Amino acid sequence: MKPISNHMPTAELQALDAAHHMHPFTAGAELGAKGARVITQASGVTLTDSEGNRILDAMAGLWCVNIGYGREELAEAASRQMKQLPYYNTFFQTTHVPAIALAARLAELAPGDLNHVFFAGSGSEANDTNIRLVRHYWAAKGKPEKKVIISRWNAYHGSTMGGASLGGMKGMHAQGGLPIPDIAYIDQPHWYAEGGDMSPEEFGLERARQLEAKIAELGEDKVAAFIAEPVQGAGGVIIPPETYWPEIQRICDAHDILLIADEVICGFGRTGNWFGSQTMNIRPHIMTIAKGLSSGYAPIGGSLVCDEVAEVIAAGEFAHGYTYSGHPVCAAVALENLRIIEEEKIIEHVREVAAPYMAEKWAALADHPLVGEARIVGLMGSLALTPDKGARAKFASEAGTVGLHCRDRCFANNLIMRHVGDRMIIAPPLVIQPADIDILFERAVKSLDETFAKIKAEGLY
């Protein structure tokens, strides 16, 4: 076989890809027919594809490349660590310096007494850890019946059996015999789609109080934990009404259950603070972390755990762990990433420069005839596309048809935005500068205009 490289014609790469590479979350027929976009390199906020297009990545990969692409320091940190100690595990009373240093650094950064880390290779793995961790915690305290974890419909917590079960995506549950036992769900705080005639404030309270009702229904002695993303990401960047989180916190405090904040997207600056829990003013017992922990340069995740839970777990042996828990190369890369975020004041940049600039422009998109709502927190935002702004109406076409059109127009205009149904979402690298934001908006408006023209022509509007 001839060597496969960036220099091969795109069509040949696409044909080999379609023949041999099984893609996550990709329709097979479409892949065969259209071919995958081949990304060859990236720098800052810009990707380059095999056709030489320069694309503004307003999704930071999968919400993860927080410090932007092409940072040599991370490559050097990986190279140094690979030469010094490419691998060793942290099982059976063994450790190594990168794992120690990263755990200690995370304990310093995390709020409250989240002073302990159990490492994993991804967000999904970390959430699998959380399921076993919280159930084992209650069992170790003599309450083995306390094992139900309450989550939310339309939450995303990963793709493993545990992660997808914690998630509330019905389409995922339908594949592979999910959910696993003892997971329960309440409704999401998605006012725009589900709030009806209620004010956002009333609706936020109503949705939060479903947690209390669910705890009462199941029995407090059966419930181990509640898990939620501070701001739902993959569900469509759903920013809860202001009344929601204070009420959830009150309910968690009033009942003897653990609060798990899934910070896989919100963590490491995305919302303008180190963690989304700080932006939403909540006090979780456990935080799931991944993605921005290494800015996606190396696969690493983990569970940040409070003193009380960690002490109970440490009293015995937790029969759990991954070959790559605390992988030294990934830990070294994550440490270097955290150094850059701090020393280059990237979170201050989000809070003081990028997010305010973006917020002003984002809000103005609500004037576009297709946009029913434009919401943003820090650097994660969403647009609801609608045929009737006043009524917050849905399109008559199958959900996602218009969103997909819009995403295709964005691609054609060298902008990566994602669609979730008929919502368009962004989460660019945190290092995005005002000049890039101007380009992002120029392309977004052009794509919205083209989508509008297309759906009118097709009778979808």
| Amino acid residing at 306 | C
Q: Which of the stretches 70-78, 200-208, 228-236, 443-451 binds ligand PMP when contact is defined by CB under 6 A?
A: 228-236
Q: What residues between 61 and 80 interact with ligand PMP by CB under 6 A?
A: 62
Nearest residue to 451 via CA among 414, 422, 425, 416: 422
Q: Which residue has the tokens 């696969």?
A: 299
Q: Is 282 in the site for ligand PMP (CB under 6 A)?
A: no
Task: Give least dist CB 173 to ligand PMP, A.
Answer: 16
Q: Identity (one letter) of the amino acid at 13?
A: L
Contact flags string 45-64 toward ligand PMP, x per CB under 6 A: -----------------x--
When asked if residue 123 is in the footprint of ligand PMP (CB under 6 A), the reply is yes
Q: Shortest distance, CB of residue 179 to ligand PMP, whole angstroms?
A: 15
| CA 379 – CA 292 distance, rounded (Å) | 13
Asked whether the beta carbons of 232 and 156 are under 8 A apart, the reply is: yes
Residues 414 and 338 sit within 8 Å (Cβ to Cβ): no
Q: Nearer Cβ to ligand PMP, position 152 or 405? A: 152
* Residue 226 in contact with ligand PMP, rule: CB under 6 A: no
Cβ-based nearer residue to ligand PMP, 261 or 437: 261
DSSP string, 200-232: HHHHHHHHHHHHHHHHHHH-GGGEEEEEE-SSB
Minimal CA–CA distance to 145: which of 199, 47, 223? 223
In degrees, rounded to 5, the angle at the alpha carbon of residue 108 between the alpha carbons of residues 105 and 114 is: 110
Identify whether the C-beta of residue 292 lies closer than 8 Å to the C-beta of residue 269. Answer: yes
Interatomic CA distance for residues 271 and 276, integer angstroms: 6
Number of residues in contact with ligand PMP under rule CB under 6 A: 17
| Residue 233 engages ligand PMP in binding (rule: CB under 6 A) | yes
Within residues 161-220, the interface with ligand PMP by CB under 6 A covers 163
Rounded to whole angstroms, the Cα distance separating 159 from 163 reads 5
Residue number with the shortest CB distance to ligand PMP? 123
Q: Which of 292, 297, 302 is nearest to 332 (CA)?
A: 297
Q: Give the nearer residue to ligand PMP in terms of CB position, either 121 or 387.
A: 121
- Using the minimum distance from each CB to ligand PMP, give the nearer residue, 62 or 439: 62
> Closest Cα partner for 423 from 449, 401, 397, 390?
401
Choice between 63 and 138, CB closer to ligand PMP: 63
Query: Is 66 within 8 Å of 77 (Cβ atoms)?
Result: no
* Residue 265 contacts ligand PMP per CB under 6 A: yes
**Comparison of 156 and 395: residue with beta carbon closer to ligand PMP:** 156
Least separation in angstroms between CB 369 and ligand PMP: 31
Residue 122 near ligand PMP by CB under 6 A: yes
119: β partners: 302
Give the shortest CB-266-to-ligand PMP separation in angstroms: 8
Q: Smaller CB distance to ligand PMP: residue 230 or 241?
A: 230
420, two tokens: 């979730």
- Could you give the C-alpha distances from 385 to 122, 219, 372, in angstroms and in order? 32, 40, 6
Strands 148-152 and 183-186: parallel
Of residues 233 and 387, the one with the C-beta less far from ligand PMP: 233
Q: Which is nearer to ligand PMP, 3 or 24 (CB)?
A: 24
Least distance (Å) from ligand PMP to the CB of residue 141?
27
- Figure out which of the listed residues 81, 124, 151, 386 binds ligand PMP, where binding follows CB under 6 A: 124
> Exactly one of 158, 230, 235, 403 binds ligand PMP (CB under 6 A); which one?
158
Is 322 a binding residue for ligand PMP by CB under 6 A? The answer is no
Question: Cα(135)–Cα(36) distance, rounded to whole angstroms?
Answer: 41
Q: Which residues pair with 373 in a beta bridge?
A: 384
Residue from 264, 426, 427, 437 touching ligand PMP (CB under 6 A): that is 264
Q: Nearest distance from residue 190's CB to ligand PMP, in Å?
A: 15
What gap in Å lies between CA 74 and CA 316, rounded to an integer?
A: 37
Residues binding ligand PMP (CB under 6 A) = 62, 122-124, 127, 156-158, 163, 229, 233-234, 262, 264-265, 290, 301
